[in-house]
C-alpha cells in the first residue's frame, strides 16, 4: 500500500513558518502583509474558497481585504477596483477569484493586476518569469505540488515525470517546475494517443484533468509518486479526485488523498506568495 502524503499536515508546517516570518517582518519593518480577495457573483464553491483564504490570513497574521461584488458588476468597475488596490500600500497581494461571469474578460482582469501583487502568478509577466526560472511568485497549486513531492524525500532530478492536463493554471506551470528541478517531463492531454503507456512510465505522476477517477491502478508504475490535483464528485456524489484512490493506492509508492492532499497546500502557497510580495516592498 502507498504511503499517504498528508497535505493538511504539510500545509500546517508551511503556514507556521510563514507566521513566524510575518512576525519577524513586522518587528523589523512595521509591515503586515495584506491580501485582497475579490469575488464577483454567488458561486458556492468560490465563496468557500474565499472564506478559507480569509481564515488562512488570520491564522498567519495577515490583513485580509474582502470585496464581494454582485454578478452583474461591469468589467470596467472591476478593473477600476483592481487599479485602486494596485496603488494601496496596505495591499501586497491581489486575487480575483475565478471563474468570472461570462460578460467579464478574464484575460483583461488578470492583466490589470500589478505583476508585483499578482500572488496567483497568472499575469503574463509572471508567467514569462516562470518559463525562464527567474520568478518571484509561483502558481499556488503547482508550487504546493512541489512541496508535497519534496516531503516524500524523492528527488525530482533524473526522474520521468508525467503531467496529465495542460491548463494554464496547473498543467503547463507544473511541467515547468518539474523541468526546473531537472525532471524529464512529458505533458499528456486529450489528444495523447496512448495515455496508459505514458503514465506507466512515470516515476512522478501529476494528474489535473477534472475527470473523476480517470487514472486507474493499471495505469500506474509500481512505487510511483502520484499527485492528484482533481476535485470531483463520484457516482454517489462524494468528493473524489482524478485518480481512483482505492485502486492506485495499492500500486503507488506515495499518493495524495482527495480531500486533504493538494487543496490545503494551494492556500498555504498563496500565503507564501503574499508574504513574499510584502517582503519585496521592504527590499525595494
pLDDT tens for each residue of the chain, 284 residues long: 999 999 999 999 999 999 999 999 999 999 999 999 999 998 888 888 889 999 999 999 999 999 999 999 999 999 999 999 999 999 999 999 999 999 999 999 999 999 999 999 999 999 999 999 999 999 999 999 999 999 999 999 999 999 999 999 999 999 999 999 999 999 999 999 999 999 999 999 999 999 999 999 999 999 999 999 999 998 888 999 999 999 999 999 999 999 999 999 999 999 999 999 999 998 65
Alpha-carbon distance of 45 to 51, in angstroms, equals: 10
Q: Count of H helices and E strands in the chain?
A: 10, 11
Alpha-carbon distance of 150 to 154, in angstroms, equals: 6
Q: What is the DSSP letter of 217?
A: G
**C-alpha distance from residue 116 to each of 16, 191, 201, 213 (Å):** 24, 36, 39, 38
Binding-site residue ranges for NADP(+)? 165-167
Q: Known catalytic residue: 54?
A: no
Which H or E run contains 254?
strand 254-255
Catalytic pick from 21, 53, 172, 272?
53
Catalytic pick from 21, 97, 117, 221?
97
Q: Which three cell numbers, joined as nine digits, stand for 212?
A: 473523476
Catalytic pick from 21, 120, 228, 244?
120
Alpha-carbon distance of 57 to 75, in angstroms, equals: 27
Q: Known catalytic residue: 111?
A: no
Alpha-carbon distance of 31 to 21, in angstroms, equals: 11
Q: Known catalytic residue: 53?
A: yes
Q: Compute how many other C-beta atoms are within 10 angstroms of the C-beta atom of residue 282.
A: 11
Q: Compute how many other C-beta atoms are within 10 angstroms of the C-beta atom of residue 63.
A: 16
- Structural domains in the chain, sorted by start: 29-116 (3.40.50.10860), 140-262 (3.40.50.720)
Amino acid at each position: 500500500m502507498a504511503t499517504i502524503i498528508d497535505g493538511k499536515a504539510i500545509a500546517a508546517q508551511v503556514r507556521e513558518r510563514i507566521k513566524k516570518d510575518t512576525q519577524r517582518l513586522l518587528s523589523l519593518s512595521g509591515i503586515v502583509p495584506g491580501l485582497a480577495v475579490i469575488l464577483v457573483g454567488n458561486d458556492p464553491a468560490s465563496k468557500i474558497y474565499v472564506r478559507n483564504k480569509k481564515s488562512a490570513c488570520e491564522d498567519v497574521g495577515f490583513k485580509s481585504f474582502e470585496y464581494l461584488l454582485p454578478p452583474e458588476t461591469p468589467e470596467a468597475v472591476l478593473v477600476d477596483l483592481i487599479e485602486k488596490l494596485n496603488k494601496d500600500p496596505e495591499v501586497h497581494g491581489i486575487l480575483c477569484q475565478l471563474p468570472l461571469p461570462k460578460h467579464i474578460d478574464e484575460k483583461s482582469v488578470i492583466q490589470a493586476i500589478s505583476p508585483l501583487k499578482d500572488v496567483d502568478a497568472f499575469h503574463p509577466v509572471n508567467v514569462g518569469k516562470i518559463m525562464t526560472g527567474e520568478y518571484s511568485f509561483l502558481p499556488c497549486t503547482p508550487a504546493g505540488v512541489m512541496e508535497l513531492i519534496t516531503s516524500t524525500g524523492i528527488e525530482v532530478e533524473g526522474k520521468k515525470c508525467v503531467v496529465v492536463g495542460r491548463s494554464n493554471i496547473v498543467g503547463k506551470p507544473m511541467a515547468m517546475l518539474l523541468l526546473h528541478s531537472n525532471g524529464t517531463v512529458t505533458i499528456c492531454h486529450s489528444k495523447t494517443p496512448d495515455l496508459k503507456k505514458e503514465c506507466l512510465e512515470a516515476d512522478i505522476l501529476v494528474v489535473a484533468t477534472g475527470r473523476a477517477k480517470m487514472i486507474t491502478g493499471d495505469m500506474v508504475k509500481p512505487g510511483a509518486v502520484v499527485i492528484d490535483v482533481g476535485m470531483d464528485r463520484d457516482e454517489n456524489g462524494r468528493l473524489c479526485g482524478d485518480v481512483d484512490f482505492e485502486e492506485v493506492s495499492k500500486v503507488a509508492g506515495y499518493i495524495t488523498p482527495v480531500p486533504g492532499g493538494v487543496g490545503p497546500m494551494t492556500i498555504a502557497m498563496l500565503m507564501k506568495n503574499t508574504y513574499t510580495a510584502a517582503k519585496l516592498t521592504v527590499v525595494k
